[in-house]
Structure 1
Amino acid sequence: MLSIGYRLLYSYVDSFRLTKVAHYSRLLRVIRYLPPLRTVVDIGAGYGIISDLIHLAVGTLYLIEKNPVLLEKIRSKTHEFENVETILADALNLPFTDDFADLVYFHDSFDEISDKVLALQEAERIIKRGGYLAVLDWDRGRLTTRIKEILLRRMGFPVNCWNLKEITSVIKGTGLRIMVARSNIDGSMTILAKKEKS
């Protein structure tokens, strides 16, 4: 069952194109920065809000969600998009072959994953050589994130944020090369890593 806080927050974000663009601006910048992307995997797609902003910019967009209620909402929203696939799956056991995707990303979902190390290892496994991993989430090293984490837990969000250094350390341990690791004063962070070709 989804908390009322979760439903209210994301119904607001989904209501207006301006709020969508503002909320997803970091991911939109990452996609514009990268070469053309044929296969993109969104881990923890939530309500699938980003799909209408990026589906035309990529070949195929796979929206991964472990909550069947949310997945049904995503399906009703994306059924007209021919290049969007919705899959009921967990970040810890992705239903893809090795070297599958050009870009795998976590956008506001990494903080809700129970085993973050395994999730990053699983993401690395499905990234093609020359492909990318993006983590766009909240840096627990920032006071604003720690306050936000308390408030979100009270609203029913199962959040457990990590700091920038913890996440980049695990990503480096998977063999990916960190290209961008930035934490902002509002608590948001952007991490972009690449799987080298050789």
Structure 2
Amino acid sequence: MHGPGDTRFFDWFAPLYDLVMPSAEAGRLATALDRASRPVERVVDIGGGSGRATLALDVPERVVFDLSAGMLARARRRGLDCVRGDARALPFADDSVDAVTVVDAFHHMPGQRTVVEEVYRVLAPGGVFAVREFNPETIRGRGLVLAERAIGFGSTFATPRDLTELLDGAGFDADVLDTGFEYTVVAKKRESH
């Protein structure tokens, strides 16, 4: 394990990250955010790293939230607002965020149930939590699981069904938007909670 959420590796890898990772799919993120039943003006991208997914969000206020100082330095150079911290203790007020995203990073977060509970707390009613993640049930996904274990990551991959059940269990209404090597789950916070 490289540290909480594999942080030390990403501090080291930050200069190369954007060279090897594809850009985020803006269309899939937009589709997920469209599921909100409130205007989406403030989005927090947890595990947002270098800001590659945050840049794809077309909203007035975008915040990159990550534990890796190296990755956040890259996001700041892109002109993005950044907050450093652990997703198990989000430093945002209750019901203060319209949407939360996590792209290709949820599997690196320890205490995933706690992360989900924190996201639920900070989301305003009618807001959405959009998760773009790798599917460990696919051939490429199984390969990624093995590769991350081989280099010592403490990753916990969830299938689309497992993630949906986790989100529903926390009080969200969750749906799988698409599947494949990567999949998208969007979870809406009920308007009366």
Decide: shared fold, TM above 0.5.
yes
**Matching of residue 50 in structure 1 with residue 58 in structure 2:** no
1:157, CA displacement in angstroms?
5.1
SS at match of 1:20: coil
Q: Distance in 2 between matches of 1:94 and 1:105?
A: 13
Equivalent positions of 1:12-23 (< 5 A) are 12-13=20-21, 19-20=22-23, 23=25
**Matching of residue 189 in structure 1 with residue 190 in structure 2:** no
4+ aligned runs moved over 3 Å, structure 1:
1-9, 31-36, 152-158
Q: Distance in 1 between matches of 2:137 and 2:167?
A: 17
Q: Distance in 1 between matches of 2:46 and 2:103?
A: 8
1:36, CA displacement in angstroms?
3.8
Runs of 5+ consecutive residues of structure 2 not aligned to the other structure? 1-7
Q: Distance in 2 between matches of 1:106 and 1:172?
A: 17
Alignment partner, residue 11 of structure 1: 19
**Mean Cα deviation higher: 2-11 or 118-127:** 2-11
**Matching of residue 98 in structure 1 with residue 101 in structure 2:** no
Q: Distance in 1 between matches of 2:26 and 2:172?
A: 24
Runs of 5+ consecutive residues of structure 1 not aligned to the other structure? 14-18, 79-83
SS at match of 1:98: coil
SS at match of 1:2: helix
**Matching of residue 2 in structure 1 with residue 9 in structure 2:** yes
**Mean Cα deviation higher: 154-163 or 122-131:** 154-163
Letter aligned with residue 130 of structure 1: G
> Relative to structure 1, is the Cα distance of residues 191 and 9 closer, same or farther in structure 2, using a 3 angstrom cutoff?
same
> Relative to structure 1, is the Cα distance of residues 20 and 32 closer, same or farther in structure 2, using a 3 angstrom cutoff?
farther
**Mean Cα deviation higher: 132-141 or 144-153:** 144-153
Q: Identity percentage over the alignment?
A: 23
Q: Distance in 2 between matches of 1:149 and 1:9?
A: 19
> Relative to structure 1, is the Cα distance of residues 26 and 32 closer, same or farther in structure 2, using a 3 angstrom cutoff?
same
Equivalent positions of 1:1-198 (< 5 A) are 1-2=8-9, 8-13=16-21, 19-20=22-23, 23-31=25-33, 34=36, 36-54=39-57, 57-78=58-79, 84-154=80-150, 158-178=154-174, 180-182=175-177, 184-185=179-180, 187-198=181-192
Deviation per residue, 1:66-102 (Å, 9 max, x gap): 0111111211122xxxxx4200111100001110111
Q: Distance in 1 between matches of 2:9 and 2:52?
A: 16
1:155, CA displacement in angstroms?
5.4
TM-score, normalisation: structure 1: 0.80
1:5, CA displacement in angstroms?
6.6
Count of residues in correspondence between the two structures: 183
